[in-house]
Amino acid sequence: MQDSNDKISTMGIFLHWLVGITIIGLIAVGLYMAENDIESLYPIHKSIGVILFIFIVFRVIRRIRRGWPKAVGDYQQWESVLSKSVHWILIIATLMFPISGMMMSGAGGHGISVFGLELLASNFDTAGKAIPLNATLAGLGHETHEILGELIIYVIGLHILAAFKHHFIDKNRSLLRMLGK
C-alpha cells in the first residue's frame, strides 16, 4: 500500500514508531550511561544503534522514493514550511546520529560490534586502553553525536507538539493516521 492523504502504509507506520521510540530510548540510555559512567551499557547502546541504522537507511530510501504523505489539512505557508523543515531535520539527524556514533567509536579505537559480532576491530593497548585510529575523526564524531542528540530531542519535542496541535486544536486525522486508524 502506498502512503496517501488518508492512510499511511503499515510499513511506514512501523518504521516511524520503531525509529522514533528507539532513538528516544538510545538518547535516554546514552545520557544516563555518560552521566553515571556506566561502561556496561555502551556495548548494548552501540549494538542497538548499529541495528537501528539499517532500519533508518531503509526508511530514508523509502521516504525519498515514495515522497512525503500529503498533509491532512490546509495550512498556512509558514506551517507547511515548518512541517517540511522538521521532517527533513528528523530524517537527516536520525541518519547522521548513528553514523557519528560509529565514527566516534570506530575512529576512537573502540571498534564497532553488534552484540559481540565484531564489524570493526577494537584497537586496545596491553593495558586495555583504546588507541584511537584517528583522534580528530573520533573527536568530530563525538561532538557531532552530542549536538545531534540534543537537536533530536528538541525536534522530536516539536514534532510531538505539532501532532497534538493537529489532533486537539485542528481536529484533523494526522495523529490517527500515524496510529494506523
pLDDT, position 6: 62
Q: Residues 133, 123: contact at Cβ < 8 Å? A: yes
Within 10 angstroms of residue 121's Cβ, the number of other Cβ atoms is 12
pLDDT, position 129: 93
Domain segments of the chain as ranges: 10-178
Find the helix or strand (DSSP H, E) in which 145 lies: helix 135-164
Instruction: Let me know if 141 is exposed, middle or buried by CB neighbors in 10 A (0-12, 13-18, 19+).
Output: buried
Buried b (16+ CB within 10 A) or exposed e, 78-115: ebeeebeeebebbbebbbbbbbbbbbbbbbbbbbbbee
Q: pTM for the whole thing?
A: 0.91
pLDDT, position 56: 98
Q: Cα(first)–Cα(last) distance of the chain, in Å?
A: 15
pLDDT, position 3: 52
One digit per residue, the tens of pLDDT, for the chain of length 181 reads 555 556 789 999 999 999 999 999 999 999 999 999 999 999 999 999 999 999 999 999 999 998 888 888 788 899 889 999 999 999 999 999 999 999 999 999 999 999 999 999 999 999 999 999 999 999 999 999 999 999 999 999 999 999 999 889 988 888 888 888 8
pLDDT, position 181: 84
